[in-house]
């Protein structure tokens, strides 16, 4: 599993994440800040197959809609618009098992 951000760097301020799920499974994209020195893929995965979502700035997880929902169906899209401060962020899928399988990437805001 993978998440690809294009572009990988955006200016500070309003950012719209337009998520196209080109896979065959349901997915979502959460936005979590990265602490100084923290790399993507380093979050602890719980026994439920998920990471701690506290601190999430928002998510795209609604099929053909904006914001949070039940997941983005295969071959569908979802989106979210957030105002991001300068920093490093991890975009990740927190459907059980997906993060551990590699569904994450970094987004840099400057």
pLDDT in tens, 1-45: 999 999 999 999 999 999 999 999 999 999 999 999 999 999 999
The answer to whether the beta carbons of residues 78 and 63 sit under 8 Å apart is yes
Structural domain total, the chain: 1
What CA–CA distance (Å, rounded) separates 22 from 41?
Answer: 21
**CA-CA distance, 38 to 90, in Å (whole number)?**
10
Residue 34 in any domain: the answer is yes
Total Cβ atoms within 10 A of residue 6? 6
Query: What pLDDT shows up at residue 40?
Result: 98
Q: What is the pTM for the complete model shown?
A: 0.96
Can you give the residue range of the structural domain that contains 86? 9-109
What CATH number is given to the structural domain containing 26? 2.60.40.420
Residue 1 lies in a domain: no
Residue 4 lies in a domain: no
């Amino acid at each position: 599993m993978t998440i690809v951000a294009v572009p990988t760097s955006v200016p500070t301020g309003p950012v719209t994440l337009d998520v196209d799920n080109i896979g065959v499974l349901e997915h979502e994209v959460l936005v979590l800040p990265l602490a100084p020195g923290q790399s993507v893929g380093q979050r602890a995965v719980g026994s439920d197959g998920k990471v701690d979502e506290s601190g999430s700035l928002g998510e795209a997880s609604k099929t053909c809609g904006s914001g949070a929902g039940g997941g983005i169906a295969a071959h569908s899209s979802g989106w979210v618009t957030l105002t991001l401060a300068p920093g490093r962020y991890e975009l990740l899928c927190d459907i059980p098992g997906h993060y551990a399988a590699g569904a994450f990437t970094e987004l840099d805001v400057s």
